[in-house]
């Protein structure tokens, strides 16, 4: 059949329109693909942003739940990424089944999901149901895995939350707080936000303080059963302007997560050696320095210590490195090798907060340990004194059997001191003898001089130490 050229010309607009239609369809499909996560098939964060954060987007949902699978990384490391993918697919399917019909589910990042809830919803109950359903996942053909999940919830109209961006931020902050505090789920509140701001502020001030070295060191003595000082523990103190004193329990984890602990740790070592150098060598006790696992893993610790010894003319036998058992859990063999090397160079190693973790005896087996510091929680059980005494005796036997010196931490009363002494403990540390204080305030303990007599508390504690010297 021959088609007249005029007829062909009249078909051109039609062909062109069809071609354009096909192009448009393709672009729609591929952009939908871009907005969907290829593993779970769920819409991703760009889809959420497009739906709610775009100027022409939908109004914010009633609530946002931000859920994280906290041990997904561990699953990937231990069982491989394929198993991790399986877990994610099953988890997203289970969440989808558990959620009420009007809830939208997004996969926000590797291990986080966001649910947008509408209408008359009960987000805490929803979070609980989902968390329960995710507790155990059984990837095909493999042993079941326990998932550790946490949820943060933010509800519209509560506190200062109005738009979708606020809700996501609030739910993510609640999720982080829940993880930190070990709660399965938490509801966003203003105090939580203030806490988060405080952390950001602390992190900023911390970095400035590391730069200008505006920290101080306090020292807490370790005593023998006669009350004599056998060693000192150096404890960091920080009081940034406008915030007042901040506990090391609060700022050390921030210094660790930001990596600041590495320059800070180096400054601590220098400061401790510098300050204690003023004590005459004949009365100078060895000093315990707390070492963070981040410092251990940084690969710089040995050089930092060597350099500080060179500069101060001191010996490694004067330094005891305190490591906290629960912090070493993930890198036990690497840390063990490092500590062994340090021990070989003459530093002594103290295992801090012993007994507070989950696998203390395993640590003792694998780590080179010279000193065990028994966690102060063991002295708190007033209701069962006999049981407490038996547990403490077991720590004493452990030390004796392994030829390791054992220090009882957190001795706050004469009664505790007597109990420990009767059991056979030989080393004690705690407020009963002395709170951590500047080295200057401790001088009378060593010399009997009246150098620090203006320090009322120092004088008082000195008396106490004397009582037990006799
Ligand atoms: P830690 O190493 O277990 O230090 C002992 C903590 O117990 C100190 O708290 C001390 O003040 C407190 N303490 C001592 N005796 C008693 C007592 O009788 N009763 C009670 N309730 N508490 C007592 P601090 O100084 O607030 O330090 C807290 C933690 O911060 C330390 O625990 C240590 O893990 C960390 N830290 C402190 N200074 C440093 C440091 O220079 N470097 C590193 N990496 N961590 C440090
Ligand atoms: Ca310590
Ligand atoms: Ca301790």
Residue nearest to atom 41 of ligand 1 (CA): 236
Residue nearest to atom 21 of ligand 1 (CA): 410
Which residues of the chain are in CATH 3.20.20.450 domains?
202-457
Q: Which CATH architecture has domain 45-188?
A: 2-Layer Sandwich (3.30)
Residue nearest to atom 25 of ligand 1 (CA): 235
**CB of 240 within 8 A of CB of 205?**
yes
Ligand 3: centre distance to CA 414 (Å): 20
Q: Which ligand is nearest to the CA of 291?
A: 1
Query: What's the pLDDT at 10?
Result: 72
Ligand 3: centre distance to CA 233 (Å): 10
Query: What's the pLDDT at 269?
Result: 97
**CB of 441 within 8 A of CB of 455?**
yes
* Neighbour order of strands in the sheet with 63-69: 104-109, 112-117, 63-69, 149-155, 185-187
Q: Which ligand is nearest to the CA of 417?
A: 1
Residue nearest to atom 7 of ligand 1 (CA): 410
Ligand 2: centre distance to CA 214 (Å): 21
Which residues form ligand 1's pocket by a CB distance below 6 Å? 220, 234-236, 247-249, 252, 268, 290-292, 324, 352-353, 376, 410-412, 430-431, 436
Distance between CA 46 and CA 238 in Å, rounded?
A: 42
CATH superfamily name and code, 202-457: EAL domain (3.20.20.450)
Residue nearest to atom 11 of ligand 1 (CA): 436
pLDDT in tens, the chain (470 residues): 555 666 666 777 777 766 665 555 554 444 445 578 889 999 999 999 999 998 888 999 999 999 999 999 989 988 899 999 999 999 999 999 999 988 999 999 999 999 999 988 999 999 999 999 999 988 777 778 899 999 999 999 887 788 999 999 999 999 999 998 889 999 999 888 888 888 889 999 999 999 999 999 999 999 999 989 999 999 999 999 888 999 999 999 999 988 999 999 999 999 999 999 989 888 899 999 999 989 988 889 999 999 999 999 999 999 999 998 766 666 777 888 899 999 999 999 999 999 887 666 878 888 899 999 999 999 987 777 888 899 999 999 999 999 999 999 999 999 999 999 999 999 999 999 999 999 999 988 876 533 322 233 333 344 343 323 22
Q: Which ligand is nearest to the CA of 356?
A: 3
Ligand 1: centre distance to CA 325 (Å): 14
Query: What's the pLDDT at 31?
Result: 47
Ligand 3: centre distance to CA 203 (Å): 24
Ligand 1: centre distance to CA 235 (Å): 6
Query: What's the pLDDT at 423?
Result: 95
Q: Which atom of ligand 1 is nearest to the CA of 412?
A: 18
Query: What's the pLDDT at 56?
Result: 86
Which residues of the chain are in CATH 3.30.70.270 domains?
45-188
Q: Which atom of ligand 1 is nearest to the CA of 375?
A: 3
The best mutation among 290, 353, 408, 430 to test binding of ligand 1, ranked by most ligand atoms within 8 Å of the C-beta, falls on: 290
Ligand 2: centre distance to CA 290 (Å): 5
Q: Which atom of ligand 1 is nearest to the CA of 436?
A: 11
Ligand 1: centre distance to CA 220 (Å): 9
């Amino acid at each position: 059949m021959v088609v007249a050229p005029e007829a062909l010309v009249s078909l051109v607009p039609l062909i062109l329109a069809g071609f354009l239609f096909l192009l448009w369809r393709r672009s729609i499909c591929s952009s939908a693909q871009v907005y969907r996560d290829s593993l779970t098939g769920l819409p991703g964060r760009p889809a959420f942003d497009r739906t709610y954060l775009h100027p022409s987007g939908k109004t914010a949902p009633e609530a946002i739940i931000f859920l994280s699978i906290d041990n997904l990384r561990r699953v990937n490391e231990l069982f491989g990424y394929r198993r991790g993918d399986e877990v994610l697919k099953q988890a997203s399917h289970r969440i989808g089944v558990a959620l009420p019909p009007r809830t939208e589910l997004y996969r926000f990042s590797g291990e986080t999901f966001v649910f947008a809830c509408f209408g008359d919803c009960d987000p805490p109950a929803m979070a609980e149901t989902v968390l329960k359903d995710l507790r155990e996942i059984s990837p095909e053909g493999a042993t079941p895995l326990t998932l550790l999940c946490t949820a943060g919830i933010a509800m519209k109209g509560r506190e200062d939350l109005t738009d979708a961006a606020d809700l996501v931020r609030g739910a993510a902050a609640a999720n982080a707080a829940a993880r930190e505090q070990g709660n399965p789920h938490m509801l966003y509140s203003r105090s939580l936000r203030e806490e988060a701001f405080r952390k950001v502020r602390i992190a900023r001030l911390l970095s400035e303080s590391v730069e200008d070295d505006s920290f101080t060191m306090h020292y807490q003595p370790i005593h023998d059963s006669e009350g004599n000082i056998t060693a000192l523990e150096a404890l960091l103190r920080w009081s940034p302007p406008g915030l007042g004193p901040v506990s090391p329990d609060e700022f050390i984890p921030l210094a660790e997560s930001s990596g600041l602990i590495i320059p800070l740790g180096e400054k601590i070592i220098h400061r401790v050696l510098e300050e204690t150098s003023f004590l005459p060598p004949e009365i100078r006790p060895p000093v315990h320095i707390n070492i963070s696992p981040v410092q251990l893993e940084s690969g710089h610790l040995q050089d930092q210590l060597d350099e500080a010894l060179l500069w101060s003319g001191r010996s490694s036998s004067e330094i005891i490195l305190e490591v906290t058992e629960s912090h070493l859990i993930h890198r036990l063999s690497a840390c063990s090798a490092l500590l062994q090397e340090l021990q070989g160079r003459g530093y002594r190693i103290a295992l801090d907060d012993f007994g507070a973790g989950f696998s203390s005896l395993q640590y003792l087996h694998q780590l080179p340990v010279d000193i065990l510091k028994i966690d102060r929680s063991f002295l708190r059980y007033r209701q069962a004194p006999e049981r407490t005494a038996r547990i403490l005796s077991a720590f004493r036997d452990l030390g004796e059997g392994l030829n390791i010196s054992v220090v009882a931490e957190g001795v706050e009363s004469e009664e505790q001191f007597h109990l420990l002494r009767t059991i056979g403990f030989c080393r004690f540390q705690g407020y009963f003898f002395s709170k951590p204080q500047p080295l200057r305030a401790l001088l009378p303990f060593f010399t009997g001089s009246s150098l620090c007599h203006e320090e009322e508390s120092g004088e008082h504690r000195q008396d106490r130490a004397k009582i037990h010297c006799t």
